Amino acid sequence: MSDDIPEVPSWVPRDSYPFEHRYLDLVGARVHYVDEGVGPPLLLLHGNPTWSFLYRELITHLRGQFRCIAVDYPGFGLSRPGPGYGFTPAEHAAVVERFVIELDLSGVTLMVQDWGGPIGFAVATRHPDRFSAFVIGNTWAWPKSDPGTQVFSRTLGGPIGRYLILRRNFFVERLIPLGVRRRKLSTPVMDAYRGPFPTPESRHPMHVFPREILGSRPFLAEIEQGLPALGDRPALLVWPTKDVAFRDAERRRWERTFPNHRTVILEGAGHYIQEDAPEQIIAAIREWVARRVDED
């Protein structure tokens, strides 16, 4: 852990995100994370354009049962990239892999959503002995090239997306509110999502992700090949009904991948399930863990 701890920015809300800020220097990056609670590790991985703040409700309510660990990828949240960092999912996965090894995590329950899926499962397929169970939100971990995916990746990953994301902060200002269907996010919450991206230059990491849906097909294919080795682990699916990106087809594929699964449908929830349905997700995780204890 580095002794050089940066000052916490004013846009981090102390009341809803009151956790200790921790940092590691990994692969040339200054990586921010929170590590709260006791029990088996629950590793929480975010997507685009969010950061560990996304998991604040889960951390607050599950840290009595789990050691809740949430990491920010370089360029997101409070993490800073090193020189030459390209913000690709493969690079993020390499950082998370080093993070897991540095903290020597084992018996990990991994929770993923959005790009957290490919990033997290890249690490889990490389180190299956460190992971014991999975909480899977709306995500994927294989090459995806249906027409909707191609339009999204080529549009937002191309020149139009570069303008919208870098100049108009499109992901934060438009897609986050559109992806939360059950509630309206408060100004302090929106400011916490705006905070990491004050300038066009700082928004570049958000633009890389949509491009890489198609650009990272070899990386995604490698993960896909490794998934069967994890298929004996228990999995909890927490799946929204109002996400335009991940629908029933992806959910069914996860259910086939993990025969020992439980699925909880988040009725009416949008893409950002941690904002839309935190209470339901927390209850689902608690019930799922209790059932597994009873079965053992």
pLDDT digit string, tens, across residues 250-270: 999 999 999 999 999 999 999
110 — pLDDT class (breaks 50, 70, 90): very high
Return the closest-CA partner of residue 136 out of 112, 119, 118, 115: 112
SS3 1: coil
Q: From start to end of 2-121, where are the E strands?
A: 22-26, 29-36, 41-45, 67-71, 108-114
Kindly give the interhelix angle for 217-226 and 89-102, rounded to the nearest 10 degrees.
40
Q: Does residue 66 contact residue 135 with C-beta atoms inside 8 Å?
A: no
Residue 271 has pLDDT above 50, yes or no: yes
**Cα dihedral: 273, 278, 284, 290 (round 10):** 140
Rounded Cα–Cα distance for residues 24 and 165 (Å): 29
pLDDT tens-digit map of 59-90: 999 999 999 999 999 999 999 999 999 999 99
SS3 34: strand
- What pTM did the predictor assign? 0.97
Q: pLDDT averaged over the chain?
A: 96
- The catalytic residue positions are 114, 243, 271
If one counts every other C-beta atom within 10 angstroms of the C-beta of residue 172, the result is 20
Stretch (H or E) spanning 251: helix 248-257
294 — pLDDT class (breaks 50, 70, 90): confident
The strand pairing partners of 26, in sequence order, are 29
The side-by-side arrangement of strands in the sheet containing 41-45 is 22-26, 29-36, 67-71, 41-45, 108-114, 131-139, 235-240, 261-266
**Cβ neighbours of residue 42 closer than 8 Å, sequence gap 6 or more:** 62, 66, 67, 68, 69, 108, 109, 111, 135
What pLDDT does residue 63 have?
A: 98
2 — pLDDT class (breaks 50, 70, 90): very low
Q: Does residue 136 contact residue 235 with C-beta atoms inside 8 Å?
A: yes
What pLDDT does residue 4 have?
A: 64
The sign of the dihedral angle between the CA atoms of 38, 43, 44, 48 is positive
What pLDDT does residue 178 have?
A: 97
pLDDT tens-digit map of 152-169: 999 999 999 999 999 999
Return the closest-CA partner of residue 117 out of 42, 220, 31: 220
Residue 1 has pLDDT above 60, yes or no: no
Task: List Cα–Cα distances, 61 to 78, 126, 132, 250, 285, in angstroms.
Answer: 22, 30, 21, 28, 11
The sign of the dihedral angle between the CA atoms of 93, 97, 100, 103 is negative
Which has more pLDDT, 19 or 295?
A: 19
Return the closest-CA partner of residue 231 out of 108, 101, 124: 124
